[in-house]
Amino acid sequence: MKPPRSGNAWLGGWLVLTLVTGCDNTPVTADPPPDLTAWVDPLIGSLGPGNVVPGPCVPHGMVKLSPDTNARQGSIDAYEWANDRIEGFSHTHLEGPGGGGNGYSQISVLPVVGDVPANLKEAASLFSHDQEIAQVGYYAVTLLDYGVRAELTATRRTGVHRYTFPQSDQSHLVFDLEQNRGMSLGGFVEAVGEDGLQGWGRYQVNPLIGLTLSETNPGTGEAQVYFAARFSRPFDSVTTRPQGDSVAAVVAFSTRRDEEIEVRVGISYIDMEQAWANLEAEAMGRSFDEVAEAARSEWNGLLARVRVTGTDEAELTRFYTALYHSLMVPADYTEDGRFFCGADGQGRVIADAGHRYFTDNWAIWDTVRSTHPLAILVHPEVVPDMMQSLVLSYQEGGWMQKSPWNALGDARVMTGNFQFCVVADAYRKGIRGFDAQTAFEAMRKGSMEESDHPLSEGLCGYFNQGTPPDYVRLGWVPDECDIDQSASMTLEHAYNDGCVAAMAQALGHEDDAAFFRQRAQNYRNVFNPEHGMMQRKRRNGTWVEPFDPTEMRGFTEADSWKYTWTVQQDLCGLVELMGGNAAFEGKLDELFAGGHFDMGNEPDFHVPFLYDWVGAAHKTQARVRQLMRDEFSDGPGGLPGNDDAGATSAWYVFSALGLYPVSPGVDEWYAIASPVFEEAVLYLGGPQRVRFTIRAPGASPDHPYVQSARLNGRSLASPRIHHDELMAGGTLDLTMGAQPSDWGTSICP
């Protein structure tokens, strides 16, 4: 049994949440609030493709202080459960990325007892999961080769380390500025007084993009990270040594048995002076335990915006861990009223003008589907700044970035322009406080124009920044433009057009709304009625034959089975193309029965909910429950694919609540599925401003089917609910049963 922390009310396995509600529907929570961080296990998703960050951070923190295991250079991310050695504890990480060569894991610290080898890779220490603890705001592990207990916590811009050493006159803390998962471009380090250290490392965050786009000046993907470190006691000596293309500092101490040495490290992307300022403002004057408690408390306040009632401890752990992972990124890179932005390719420091700067959103192709829609519900006060950060990328670099990072240039990762859908979704759901007109200007430009890049013919979906001219001229992306992704790119740009149309409509640009609404029908250009599926097409309008729906050629990370459903802007139009509700339902059945569905990748995320559109809501309920049961767990291998900046975790959160935003940026409806919990209370619109309750008495694995639904006492026939209805507050009552029912009228036609 997972022990609750102090402050939890616990009775017979039930999490008891006491709430007092005022007549204006503004809730007042019990004091003290429940400690929901006790249900978070940061190691879920650390085995296999999840690539999560097990170390401590605060919500949207710039610093994610976490262990780096002995993965190869250029690996996807830093920590892999199956590895047996720790190379160091570094301060910058991405949450759940895919791909490879992501050059984070920067500014590494490793305790070493005895001689420090010349090649620091050889200093990596064995560790055991039996002596490892990962909690919200705290991580600890024993480095078995050195007998050192390492403990970590973090603030928004600093990492706090505590190391317990054995007795030795050769105890060291090694700062390795070369280590990262991309490419080191150099570094500098020096002692400051008798207990300080400062320096910087320079990195190529994505060597592949840097090589391919080498004509950009000074190159795309370069990042310089500054640090300032203060030790809890004077060191005996500091020596520097070359390390690959960079440098390392070996800080030496003589230690007593079980002597604790703390080091606090401020990180900055502006300069070393700012790194010292970040360190002083956030990490000094408080004990290690006080910093850890502050991080835990901040997380608990955010997690408490979604409170669920249930008896299944594994389910509570899966749910709150998923909520935790979904709120780690994008990261807030604002430093003392200003920030570094590299979107112009040169980089400069900008005054924040009242808007925090969020980036590390790798990639919006993933996060548009779940991470960002969940933030609008759970953490809306940060969303305006996230949107303004996208606007800034356009103002600085000429294109609204689709995969923002805190490095020079534009990452250009993945296909389509889903950043447009993120902006439209936020605006249409009532988010204000950002420059919406300039955002639309960027959306319109990116929908009509394309930048020059070296793969524009043959692989035009790679490294692009706007929309391929072929799509604008023909209405589809032809095979000659991109032999790998042409069909899926057509579908994505058509969906993006639907988002641009929705944004134009909301802003009163009627002509643009009509134009892009019509262009959003371009998905029909790659629908082959002979097969009833999407297919590659040439510039002359002929199909690329032979057609194999399981072939990945023509589809980004997928095939026609997976991408045929990417028509969120006009699902009823797709139903009609397929021959009506019964045919559409049968095609969905064939998809799942044939094993074509992929829970591990984002293009399929919305598909299980599509039965709601054709009057077969019970199949959505059964399928989503089955996916949650079979594809997710509360162990290290608990994620079916890359977490992708919290996208996979956010899918789980939505699904466990029984809701899912099928068409972000186009409409504001949530499909209703099958809630896992008997009751879930959502505090929406900011810190506990509006309360919306989902009640599903008897919800359980053997009672997954909705028999009837009532919204604020009114019978609900359709299996969906509008965002405005959530934000108005109230209660959705679902009657659950063991057998499928005919509840849920068809959304189409």
Residue type, 136: V
Taking the mean position of all CA atoms in its chain, how far away is CA 356? 18
Question: Which pLDDT band, with edges at 50, 70 and 90, does 362 fall under?
Answer: confident
What percentage of residues in the chain have a pLDDT greater than 70?
93
Task: Write the pLDDT tens digit of every residue in 381-391.
Answer: 999 999 999 99
At residue 310, the pLDDT reads 87
pLDDT tens digit sequence for 315-342: 999 999 999 999 999 999 999 999 999 9
pLDDT in tens, 469-505: 999 999 999 999 999 999 999 999 999 999 999 999 9
Contact call for residues 581 and 748 (beta carbons, < 8 A)? yes
Instruction: Please report the pLDDT score of residue 361 as a whole number.
Output: 86
Selection from 140, 145, 111, 150 nearest residue 43 by Cα? 140
Cα–Cα distance, 658 to 624 (Å, whole number): 9
User: 615 near 745, Cβ under 8 Å?
Assistant: yes
Q: What is the pLDDT of residue 213?
A: 75
Binned at pLDDT 50, 70 and 90, residue 380 comes out as very high
User: To the nearest whole number, what is the mean pLDDT of the chain?
Assistant: 93
Question: Concatenated DSSP letters for 474-491?
Answer: HSS--TTTBTTTHHHHHH
Are 385 and 357 in contact by the 8 Å Cβ rule? The answer is: yes
pTM over 0.85: yes
Is the peptide bond preceding residue 454 cis, with omega within 30 degrees of 0?
no
Nearest to 422 by CA among 388, 469, 462, 381: 388
Instruction: Return the pLDDT at 700.
Output: 94
- pLDDT of 11 above 70: no
Tell me: the pLDDT tens digits for 540-568? 999 999 999 999 999 999 999 999 999 99
Please say if the pLDDT value at position 716 is more than 50: yes
Looking at the DSSP bridge assignments, the partners of residue 201 are 187, 225
**349 pLDDT above the threshold of 70:** yes
Query: 39-304 domain in CATH 2.70.98.10?
Result: yes
Residue 15 predicted with pLDDT over 80: no
Question: Which H or E run contains 529?
Answer: none
Domain residue spans of the chain = 39-304, 310-327+581-749
Phi and psi (nearest 5°) for 710? Answer: -135, 135
Any idea which architecture 310-327+581-749 has in CATH?
A: 2-Layer Sandwich (3.30)
What is the CA 178 to chain-centroid distance, rounded?
26
Question: At 386, phi and psi to the nearest 5?
Answer: -60, -40
